[in-house]
Amino acid sequence: MAPKQQGKQRLPPTTAAAKNQAEQELAALMRKGQGDNLPAKIISQAGVYLRAAILISLMAISANVSRLALSPVYGQIPASIYHDYVVWAFLFVGWATNVVLKRVLPFKTMALIPVIAWYSPMVQTYLFRLSSTLSIKYGPIVTEALTVGPLLSLGAAYVADILEEADMSALPQTVADAIPGMGGFAVFRLNEAIMGQQLSLQMGRSLMQSRMGMQFVLASVYSLMSRSKLLLWVIPAVLHAGIFNPHIPSPTANNNLNTTLSAQGWSLLDRWESITGYVSVIESHKDGYRLLRCDHSLLGGEWKNLPKTIVGEPVYSVFTQLEAVRLVENPKKVPDHQAKALNIGLGIGTTPSALIAHGIDTTIVEIDPIVYDFAVKYFDLPADHTAVIEDAISWGKKNIVTLAGHFDYIIHDVFTGGAEPIDLFTEEFLETLRALLSPSGVIAIVSLSVRAESTGLTYGQNFAGDFTLPSLSIVAKTVKTVFPSCRIFREMEAPPRETVEKEGRDFDNVIIFCTKTVGAITFRQPTEADFLKSYSRRNYLLPKHEVPDSAFMSGEKIGILRHNETSILAASHDTSAVGHWKIMRKVLPDSIWENW
């Protein structure tokens, strides 16, 4: 008996050829059917592009949220210096390796994305504690490379997988090969730009609209898109968020954080996230002062262990010098009870509180509602004033006619937690302030920088206070172009030239006093009533260290700052912001900055 054949029988050649022909005819019929059913084809292709666009949009939001999460630890500007390079590099890697990933991974690329999204806040928490070791240069790079970077790479790879279903047979091959990558990147950049603006405007309206909250919302959306069994592995990350993450603005996290801070002599009184950054109020029990923080900067502080005075005793005396606008002599000057003042930028409210105490009708324009609320609640900002929570530029444009010549004093003191808003130093905005100033009025424009004070604190702020950078000279020239009479003072005496050459910088707090009429600016001697029983005002109210014209740079590069030409100052932001970060790390312990 012949043995039985094992396995599958081989078809005769004629049968195999017939089968292949039948399959080809069936495929041709299917293509013909699809071609005949044009609406179905359009819907199918629209679904492909829609899925890709949704994922790209989520990736763009994730990139923006990552940068926001870094700003309390590294500052807005340092967190952005290398951000785009990290994003572009990981997007390219993901797009280029999508084929390899499909072969290597035993599951879809999309399945890993929510896992990385859930673990990113936990990884950030531990990396933030290494910020001093990683440094201001490498800290943001390393943190994003280990969190949002892998998420973007996997996202780009999965977008490439989705777009393989796109029918581009009608296009030349070279065009069809280029469109998915170039088009996807263009959509990503557009979404990143649009979402970046929208996220800032929506920040802090709820727990889910906080930095950490938005990361968890994104992780949840990625999870819904994936629906993989790998989601079981995110349970530890979820538990860490609910129990151990100090950056979530919840009562539980606040209590846990204060347990840690109290051992170091500090306490967190309040915190929230807002349109200008992460805002918090902290207090030093050891030294007896309270500070208002915005991202990786300080907006002001007040002593709490000194005898009660008419107004608060500021930690930073430079703010008391702004009140010297009242001391400028003018034969047409109105008495305090008839005077009106405009204060642009609030901080803790040191200057407007003093103006109000002198009986001056004061209007405060502050863009950040949380900064305003904290100034009232924790720094005793008096109630008898007019508060405008709005962008100063838009407010000025709306009121330039109705309030022309209305204010006898204008205080220009703006800072957002990352740097001075450049648009508020342009010729156009200063012209608006000039129109609002009365004929005999005085304006004080402050540019805060870095100085050590007798309190033991050092205060570091903005790009415009370094005499070795062109930015200060540009601001000064712009101000003096708008206002015909100005005097410029620095807070402390200028250091020796040898010191400046050795350190490569000359930071100081600079105040510019100007009038809109031609004539010498002189200050009367302050009286006892001007001091408001304040030690700081008694010692620092009257400006002492005038800056000569020779201290400023000149030449073609020192031009006028105009609305469409702000890049001449933007270049100074990076250098100053990095230096500011280093100074801030000497002002307060690393743990204060790292734990938010």
pLDDT in tens, 363-373: 999 999 999 99
For residue 501, the model assigns a pLDDT of 76
Domain boundaries 298-594, CATH class = alpha beta
Give the mean pLDDT of the chain: 87
Q: Give the other-Cβ count within 10 Å of 563's Cβ.
A: 12
| C-alpha to C-alpha distance for 437 and 408, rounded to whole angstroms | 6
**Close Cβ partners of 375 (under 8 Å, ≥ 6 residues apart):** 292, 346, 347, 348, 349, 381
| pLDDT at site 284 | 95
The confidence band for 481, taking pLDDT boundaries of 50, 70 and 90, is very high
Tokens coding 564:
């469409």
**% pLDDT > 70, the chain:** 89
pLDDT at 500: 74
Q: What is the C-alpha to C-alpha distance for residues 117 and 224, in angstroms, rounded to an integer?
A: 12
What angle, 0 to 180 degrees and rounded to 10, lies between the N-to-C axes of helices 83-96 and 173-202? 140
Among residues 239, 244, 240, 295, the alpha carbon closest in space to that of 272 is found at: 295
pLDDT confidence of 469, banded at 50, 70, 90? confident
Sign of CA dihedral 169, 174, 179, 181: positive
Helix 83-96 × helix 148-163 angle, to 10°: 40
pLDDT digits (tens, 9 = 90+) for 156-203: 999 999 988 888 777 787 777 777 788 888 899 998 888 887 887 788
Question: Encoding tokens for residue 292?
Answer: 């208002």
- 393-414 pLDDT tens trace: 999 999 999 999 999 999 999 8
**Of 420, 422, 576, which Cα lies nearest the Cα of 504?**
576
Number of residues in the chain: 596
Q: What is the pLDDT of residue 90?
A: 96
Cα–Cα distance between 345 and 278 in angstroms, integer?
Answer: 17
Q: How high is the pLDDT of residue 168?
A: 78
Confidence of residue 421 (pLDDT cuts 50, 70, 90): confident
Nearest Cα to 234, choosing from 114, 373, 138, 339?
114
Tens-digit pLDDT profile for residues 51-99: 999 999 999 999 999 999 999 999 998 999 999 999 999 999 999 998 8
Angle between helices 148-163 and 173-202 (to 10 degrees): 140
542/21: higher pLDDT = 542
Which pLDDT tens digit goes with each residue over 192-212? 888 887 887 788 888 888 999
Residue 417 has pLDDT above 90, yes or no: no
**Residue 184: what pLDDT?**
86
For the chain, helix (H) and strand (E) counts, in that order, are 23, 15
564 backbone dihedrals φ, ψ, rounded to 5°: -95, 10
Say what the pLDDT of residue 23 is.
Answer: 65
Is the per-residue pLDDT at 444 higher than 90? yes
**Residues 6+ positions from 345 with CB-CB distance below 8 Å:** 365, 366, 392, 411, 412, 413, 414, 415
Q: What is the mean pLDDT of residues 36-57?
A: 85
Q: Which helix or strand (DSSP H or E) is residue 409 part of?
A: strand 407-412
pLDDT at 124 over 90: yes
Locus of tokens 């642009």: 344
Containing 104, the helix (H) or strand (E) segment is: helix 98-104
The helix/strand/coil state of 531 is helix
46 has a pLDDT exceeding 90: no
Is residue 219 within 8 Å of 118, Cβ to Cβ? yes
Of the candidates 119, 124, 59, 70, the residue with the CA atom closest to the CA atom of residue 94: 59
Of 169-178, 304-313, 428-437, the range with the highest mean pLDDT is 428-437
Q: CATH 3.40.50.150 occupies which residues in the chain? A: 298-594
Greater confidence (19 vs 121) lies with 121
576 or 127, greater pLDDT: 127
